[in-house]
Amino acid sequence: TAGSAPTRDLTGRHVVVSAGGTREPLDPVRYLGNRSSGKQGHALAVAAAARGARVTLVTSAKPDLPGVDVVHIETALQLRDAMHAAAADCDVVVMAAAVADFRPATYAPTKIKKTHESRPDGSADESAPTIELVRNPDILAELVARRGGAATPIIVGFAAETGDEDGSVLDHGRAKLERKGCDVLVVNEVGEGKTFGADDNTVTVLRRGSDAAVEVGPATKAVVSDAVWDVVVSLF
């Protein structure tokens, strides 16, 4: 816990953490993004380093974190390449990044202008453009598929959920854990004023094949991180 000397129970382990949102470019000056600050993922990286791990942090932010190897990415496709490269040689993968589910189908190499090229009759076309999107790969699912029947790496996912008419936050979390096939899922309740950019977090940590649900918080992202690593260490 905060303030006490950390347990060095990740000594000798290599952990790979992704964090922050992805940016999907439309043209040289614009992108589609999301509000993820990367703070929870960065806190996980720092906590793992304090517990003795070698840490690779793949992030769209530019944090300066002592004892952490930072790989900078912008897009989901870059994140995917970086995760596959790092996951080839690690004990734990944590997908805390907020990966864009979709990206623009095409990238305009020059700035998209609000008035387009003239119509055949010479008048300017001022209609609003339509942005076509294509699906990004599901990196977490790919990492699970790539592991196959092997015992490692341990794979941790995150899920930001809101309750709705189809179920509670936890119902959605359990379903996502089964669907994704990862070992641990850290479920966050999101909504107005919750989680994004905040310093505190409230999560439920679920394990595949177990009914146990570890509830943490509201607590600092450092405390939440240690609770996640406690669960991961229990799986070694």
CA dist 229 → 45, 52, 178, 222 (Å): 10, 12, 21, 11
Told to check if 227 binds ligand CTP by CB under 6 A, we report no
**Calpha distance 86→31 (Å, rounded):** 26
**Calpha distance 100→34 (Å, rounded):** 8
Told to check if 10 binds ligand CTP by CB under 6 A, we report no
Nearer to ligand CTP, 159 or 227 (CB): 159
Which helix (H) or strand (E) element contains residue 186?
strand 184-189
171 marked as part of a ligand binding site? no
236 marked as part of a ligand binding site? no
201 counts as catalytic: no
Count helices and strands in the chain by DSSP H and E runs: 5, 12
Asked if residue 201 lies in contact with residue 221, where contact means CB atoms within 8 angstroms, the answer is yes
Query: Would you give the end-to-end CA distance of the chain in angstroms?
Result: 21
| Residue 138 binding: pick among ligand CTP, Ca ion, none (C-beta 5-8 Å cut-off by kind) | ligand CTP
By beta carbon distance, the residue nearest Ca ion is: 101
**Calpha distance 6→13 (Å, rounded):** 15
Q: Which residue from 29, 89, 101, 134 is in contact with Ca ion, where contact means CB under 5 A?
A: 101
Residue 58 CB, nearest distance to ligand CTP (Å)?
11
Nearer to ligand CTP, 26 or 95 (CB): 95
Told to check if 137 binds Ca ion by CB under 5 A, we report no
- Which of 18-26, 85-93, 101-109, 135-143 is the region at the interface with Ca ion (rule: CB under 5 A)? 101-109
Pairing of the two strands 200-207 and 184-189? antiparallel
Size of the site for ligand CTP (CB under 6 A): 13
Which residues of this protein are in contact with ligand CTP, per CB under 6 A? 76, 95, 97, 99, 101, 136, 138-140, 157-160
Which residues of this protein are in contact with Ca ion, per CB under 5 A? 101
Q: Which residues are catalytic?
A: 34
